[in-house]
Structure 1
Amino acid sequence: MTERLTMARCECGAAAGPLGACVDYYHAVLAEEQGDPGMYRWHAVVVCAYFLQHPSGAHPKYLDDQFRQLQLCLDRGLDALLRVGARQVARNRHGARPAHDPDPLSAYAPLPPGGPPRHFRATFSDLPVRDGSFVSDGHPAYGRRIETIAAATVESWRSLQA
């Protein structure tokens, strides 16, 4: 335990976990989800939450949409977010309309200025890994953990407005 406390903190303020820093967890999640459709359903939420917690690795122009996507997911659920994503992909494929359709996300608050937050109550280095897997206790449990990280991300960014 002492060793973990003395390790350098991640950009999000978290201490490293058994796999290393949050970036190590992020890459491990991305690798595992490639072979697991049930886990891959959470891909958009994982990407949005990771980059909002670690914005130095993100392109700033996407952070607002990512923040709104997390709010949509928390408000209406993963299936609603996946439907919005599928609709956007279909629109892009047909080329009949502009590439970006802000309507589904316009109801959600924009990314607050002054970030990033210094602390999140749940981070990627908090994810448990058992038997080399993030889903060893099932996809519903994994989804709840990713949703907790998403909620913590939105909460911390919203706290900047206070």
Structure 2
Amino acid sequence: MTDRSAVGRCECGAAAGPLGTCADYYHAVLSEEQADPGMYRWHALVVCAYFLQHPSGAHPKYLDGQFRQLQLCLDRGLDALLRVGARQVAGNRHGRRPVHDLEPLSAYAPLPPGGPPRHFRATFRDLPFRDGSFVSDGHQAYGHRIETIAEATVESWRSLQT
């Protein structure tokens, strides 16, 4: 637990929302994704942004790659990120030794030291949950909100460099 959680705040600085903490939102998103392939399209972005906003629950060796993946998506779009992910999965099939190919991400800035940031302008707690769903107003609206969280995540980490 961080100091922020001791005062009713999540590790990312957000107060709990109607569903609880960001962790509650994250697990609810993952659960809903399982039944909704249209929503699952943003899964990689969800995971990367969540762990960069809540790094105490992440394995530190993956945070740099997750930061670079968010930058790739924001720079070249979700389809580019999905292609990189598909290439990674294909390279790890058929009993091959697992490969972690960071070459497609090498053009992007590494994770800045000194984190995590204390505040993000958009967090998982900000996701609206209506009619029992995160996509009650459509998949594109949901995707836009996830991309906004990704942008806020990169923005806050980059602010550590100044």
CA separation of 1:91 and 1:131: change in aligned 2, threshold 3 A: same
CA distance in 1, matches of 2:98, 2:10: 38
Question: Where in structure 2 are the equivalents of 1:10-89 lying within 5 Å?
Answer: 10-89=10-89
- Residue in 1 aligned with 2:140? 140
CA separation of 1:103 and 1:24: change in aligned 2, threshold 3 A: same
For this pair of structures, how many residues does the alignment match? 156
1:37 Cα deviation from its structure 2 partner: 0.5
Unaligned runs of 5+ in 2: 1-6
Correspondence 1:154 to 2:124: no
1:106 Cα deviation from its structure 2 partner: 0.2
1:11 Cα deviation from its structure 2 partner: 0.3
Correspondence 1:118 to 2:118: yes
Unaligned runs of 5+ in 1: 1-6
CA distance in 1, matches of 2:88, 2:48: 16
Instruction: Give the letter aligned to residue 108 of structure 2.
Output: Y
1:61-114, CA deviations, whole angstroms, 9 ceiling, x for partnerless residues?
000000000000101111110000000111111567871211100000000000
TM-score (norm 1): 0.93
Structure 1 vs Structure 2 CA RMSD: 1.3
- Residue in 2 aligned with 1:9? 9
1:54 Cα deviation from its structure 2 partner: 0.3
Percent sequence identity is: 88
1:151 Cα deviation from its structure 2 partner: 0.2
After the TM superposition, list the runs of 4 or more consecutive aligned residues in structure 1 that deviate by more than 2 angstroms.
94-98
TM-score (norm 2): 0.93
Deviating more after overlay: 93-102 vs 115-124: 93-102
Instruction: Give the letter aligned to residue 85 of structure 1.
Output: G
